[in-house]
A and B are shown apart, each in its own frame.
Chain A
């Protein structure tokens, strides 16, 4: 397969609509919604930590039906438009689909993936606050981090055999996972995630970030810079697992904005430990495999 056919794209779109969410968020949604007085902010706190639930909420709010003047990129904003009870019932519907199994035929650990995504999201948001204030919305950077690798869960769920080959290929040939995906599946996770995001009318800058986060030739932007550096920080420190083993020859991203010393960037991230601790608690997983 040299590219994603329109037919496969359509099938993946439908499959993702029926995709179960992450175990911890399903459990928390069921717990919270048993209490008639549950706090709206607690519900939002769960939905915005789950890439599957977040994707689905953004799909609803950005659908043509609402015809909103601007695209929505945050769960909080969705609550303002839809009302908390509607978001609660949507979340219950997502929870009722079941839970993503921790392991799959691809051998891709989705809870360690979740840890990776959550920490990238938190770091990208903080980088935006520290280094791109006024240029990019920190909330947008959070969403970009949470969803940047969404294509991998889609692969693990729906193209498991091919994705397993790509994961093995990346290790055996010491190449980045996105290169291995192109070799084994025909497309990389960035493209698949971006196609879904585009199909569901997500904002263009978010689609671009998801598609191009591994493409060094893609146009730079505040959001892209924060996402790429956050992704490197988290992978280089082996927090969670993105499935991408490749490190050695990877150039530091966004050097113009962040300089060429990743450790120095990390040192400035005052709340990295807290971001990691919170994410570990939610993803129910430790740092080491």
Chain B
């Protein structure tokens, strides 16, 4: 299985001279199973350069898995050029939105409204299919299996675990570890804390034996108190999570859009230092910053 990063930025694209090394495109990760099946995790602006590459490999058979429908994870969808070419097939997977009462089939309909985009879905000539997923129920894509797991964000967000011939990678999409909405002096604190622990326990159990964890690491621990409830994780928190899960690699992604490459490397180094990162120590995961073009072979 191969994993390649095409977009690693959070919230909004951040092009410019200060983000050349890590890239300014928003979330898009290409996963190739051992038999070459194409799984695309999210359709941020990074899906556009991926689309250019795919045009050299026609016909395209793509399986897009949307973690959640916030802009930075779907922004590139109308620019996924294989959608316009007959003979290609694109299957779009995602969750059910309990607030709108709609499945993932609403994603393009909403994006392609007359006022916002000049082309209608009916004019896209690839075979397009939608599959609204159920939590915890695996989907087969070629020789790989993709399992959606419910995470914590201000909209329904699925993390996807991809398994292929004994190797596995999990991408959180956007995720803030569950936290107690009460303070210790509140009557409901203890009960809520139990529920939070149980939820984290269920997720950790579903990630048993994981090789690679790709996690939303938007903030540092020091920045987090001002960002509680925004739905994102911290570098330090994910180091702890990766160790707890016993993963071989942790990839920190969803970089904060105002961070320059230098800033990103600086806060990352500090986070590794404060968490006592000891590369090479038995059981210690290898920890990397995601950057456009980074490729992992599992």
Q: Are A65 and B134 in contact (CB under 8 A)?
A: yes
Does B154 have its Cβ within 8 Å of any Cβ on chain A?
yes
B223 within 8 Å of A (CB atoms): no
State the majority secondary structure of interface residues on A. Answer: helix
Interchain CB contact (< 8 A) of A80 among B98, B137, B199: B199
Interface flag for A84 (CB, 8 Å): yes
Contact of B181 among A60, A67, A84 (CB under 8 A): A84
B182 closest partner in A (C-beta)? A41
Decide if B188 touches A86 in the complex (CB within 8 Å).
no
B98 touches A41 (CB 8 A): no
- How big is chain B's contact interface, by range? 20 to 34
| One of B56-64, B79-87, B189-197, B271-279 contacting the partner | B189-197
Q: Give bound CA distance, A76 to B196, whole Å.
A: 10
B71 at the interface (CB under 8 A from A): no
In angstroms, how far is the closest chain A Cβ from the Cβ of B187?
Answer: 10
Residues on B with beta carbons closer than 8 Å to the beta carbon of A82: 98, 156
Set of chain B residues within 8 Å of A79, measured between Cβ atoms:
181
B181 & A77 in contact (Cβ 8 Å cutoff): no
Could you tell me if B98 and A139 are in contact, using CB atoms closer than 8 angstroms? no
Residue contact B191 to A86, C-beta cutoff 8 Å = no
- Secondary structure dominating the interface of B: loop
Question: A236 to chain B: which residues have CB within 8 Å?
Answer: none
Query: With A and B bound together, what is the CA distance between A85 and B229 in angstroms?
Result: 9
B99 at the interface (CB under 8 A from A): yes
Q: What bracket does the count of chain A residues touching chain B fall in?
A: 20 to 34
**B178 part of interface (Cβ distance < 8 Å):** yes
Asked if B99 and A80 make an inter-chain contact with CB atoms under 8 angstroms apart, the answer reads no
Residue on A nearest B133 in the bound complex, by CB: A65
Complex Cα distance A81/B152, Å?
A: 8
Q: Which of A76, A85, A86, A93 contacts B195 (CB 8 A)?
A: A76
A89 proximal to B (CB < 8 A): yes
List the B residue with the shortest CB-CB distance to A88. Answer: B154
Closest beta carbon of chain B to A195's beta carbon, Å: 23
Alpha-carbon separation in the docked complex, A112 to B153 (Å): 38
**A39-B188 Cα distance, complex, nearest whole Å:** 14
A139 closest partner in B (C-beta): B191
Q: Is the CB of A41 within 8 A of B154?
A: no
Closest chain-A Cβ to B264's Cβ sits at a distance in Å of: 27
Complex Cα spacing A60 to B181, Å:
21
Instruction: Tell me, rounded to whole Å, the shortest Cβ–Cβ distance linking A107 to chain B.
Output: 35
Residue of B nearest to A68 (CB): B135
On whether the beta carbons of B155 and A81 are closer than 8 Å, the reply is no
- B36 in the interface, Cβ–Cβ < 8 Å? no
Q: How far, in whole Å, are A174 and B297 apart by their CA atoms in the complex?
A: 79
B170: CB under 8 A from chain A? Answer: no
B96 CB–A CB distance under 8 Å: yes
User: Do the beta carbons of A67 and B134 come within 8 Å of each other?
Assistant: yes
**A84/B191 contact (C-beta < 8 A), A41-B181, A67-B136 known:** no
Interchain CB contact (< 8 A) of A84 among B134, B156, B195, B229: B229
Partner of A65 from the list B96, B152, B191 (CB cut-off 8 Å) is B96
Can you list 24 A-B contacts (CB < 8 A)?
Answer: A39-B181, A40-B229, A41-B188, A44-B181, A65-B96, A65-B134, A65-B135, A66-B135, A76-B191, A76-B192, A80-B195, A82-B98, A83-B152, A83-B154, A83-B155, A83-B156, A83-B157, A84-B181, A85-B154, A85-B155, A86-B155, A90-B98, A90-B99, A139-B191
Q: Which residues of B does A touch, CB under 8 Å?
A: 96, 98-99, 134-137, 150, 152-157, 178, 181-182, 186, 188, 191-192, 195-196, 199, 229, 231
Closest 3 CB pairs of A and B: A85-B154, A40-B181, A89-B99
Task: List 19 other contacts, CB 8 Å, given A76-B195, A80-B199.
Answer: A40-B181, A40-B229, A41-B182, A41-B188, A66-B150, A67-B135, A76-B191, A80-B178, A80-B192, A82-B98, A83-B154, A83-B155, A83-B156, A83-B157, A84-B154, A86-B98, A90-B98, A90-B99, A93-B99
